[in-house]
Amino acid sequence: MASVPDFLFAGAVQGAPAARRRDALAALWARPWRWIEEDRPEEPAWNLALDEALAEWVGAGEAPPFVRLWTGRRSLVTSRYDPGLVDRRGALAWCRAHGYDLLLRSSGGGAVVHCELTLNLSIGLRARDGFPSIAEAYELLPAGLLLALAELGVEAGYASVPGSFCDGRWNLAARGRKLAGTAQRRRAGYVLWHAVLLAEGGEAELARMSGDIEAFYRAAGAGSGKRPAPVLDPSTLTTVEREWRSAHPDGAEPVPRRKELAERIRRAYDRLCGRLSPEAAGRKERERARELAPSCLPPDGAAG
């Protein structure tokens, strides 16, 4: 593993000292990894399903672990098991009326927005002998993302951010505001970890995003079940663009846009493992994604 900043080893994995964290990172990134260069934003359900297809092949021992960055057409993406989706027909009707695709992911958590301002990071690896645990996956897999952000002057870490969408203890936050939401799925010998990074935008865009998620849940009947409908506070959110501007108040350098940010993240993961192999998904993986794509759509159909 390449030399990386000490901040990646601060804290602990399940209460373990920094030395164990360093050993765990070294073991994780020492194996060969694939960088999957496959992105079809015009096919949102297939794009989402490809992550699961890739992870299945990893879990079966047929492919090495992978890192993938991809973009999403304007979509509201939530878990297939989201308890807030009481009225799926109402949710789908609201999405169609407001220009969103409705997608259902295999990992847990609540609704997030995919759009021209966000960037999706997916990592899949084989789970062996209990490694990585749930906590280890959440702590170790974002290492390249944290490294890329640090090199931009953005200090991020794990934190719950009450009032943010899809809140949880494993948000990535900067200055107390949510910068990325994360989730994972564990099945059939693999771990599939997702992050939705708020890459660009300011207060107006974040307010619109929060408002749309609230309206989506009202249309979905959230609050009529066991859980109340979410009340979101857009001031709890931030973006890489906003954090960059805060770290570079003189404005002498241009703001890194989504394409540049993606390249910085790729280089950071390449540094971590030292042998990141860029390639497209295989034919069988693409075919499996086509088979899985319908499961990413609500029963009444949607785009993709």
Residue numbers annotated as active site = 166
Q: Which two tokens stand for residue 2?
A: 């390449």
d(CA 172, CA 139): 10
Q: What is the residue-wise DSSP string for 154-187?
A: ---EE---TTSTT--TT-EEETTEEEEEEEEEEE
Q: Buried b / exposed e across 222-233, counting CB within 10 Å, b at 16+?
A: beeeeeebbebe
Q: How far, in Å, are 1, 201, 225 from residue 120 at the CA level?
A: 24, 16, 30
Q: Which two tokens stand for residue 252?
A: 């002498």
Dihedral sign for Cα 144, 148, 153, 154, please.
negative
Torsion, Cα 149 150 153 158, to 10 degrees, reads 70
Q: Which two tokens stand for residue 213?
A: 């998620």
d(CA 34, CA 15): 30
d(CA 214, CA 207): 11
